[in-house]
Amino acid sequence: MDWATRDAQLVERIANAVFRIKNRKTRSARVTLTAIGRELGNQSLLQTKLHKMHLTRAMVLNAVETAEAYSVRRVRQVAARLRVSSPGFRRWELSRAAGLRRQMQNLPAVQAALDYEMLVHVVPNERSHNAA
């Protein structure tokens, strides 16, 4: 097996796989080694031979998301959707729609994402009241 050739081929495909995982129309998925492998149809190869493919390994390690990073991405995606469908949403509705557990809501990056999305989302009536 020519691992260098296989490594070069997989690196190109991994970037596309990560993009597809992050931009699904249905509920988004966390980018993990398993998710990338499933998307490529080479799950067992990535899980058993990753140590032989250095470029692929670097690409995968750079692409995988922590639970915190995934939660932040979910907050952003859900907030964008709620701005269109539910103009007057509250923080708890955003948290619930994003599927955040209480433990995740308490992480600093997730709190910051929730705070930011709520600042960006000000109901028009609240703006006029605050300006007066």
Question: Rounded distance, CA 80 to CA 98, Å?
Answer: 11
Q: What are the boundaries of each domain within the chain?
A: 3-63, 67-131
Task: Please tell me the number of Cα atoms within 13 Å of 31 on its side-chain side.
Answer: 23
Q: Is the pLDDT of residue 122 over 70?
A: no
Q: How many CB atoms lie within 10 A of CB 64?
A: 17
Q: Please tell me the pTM assigned to this model.
A: 0.80
Model confidence over 91-121: pLDDT tens digits?
999 999 999 999 999 999 999 999 999 988 6
The DSSP-derived string for 15-32 is: HHHHHHHHT-SSS-----
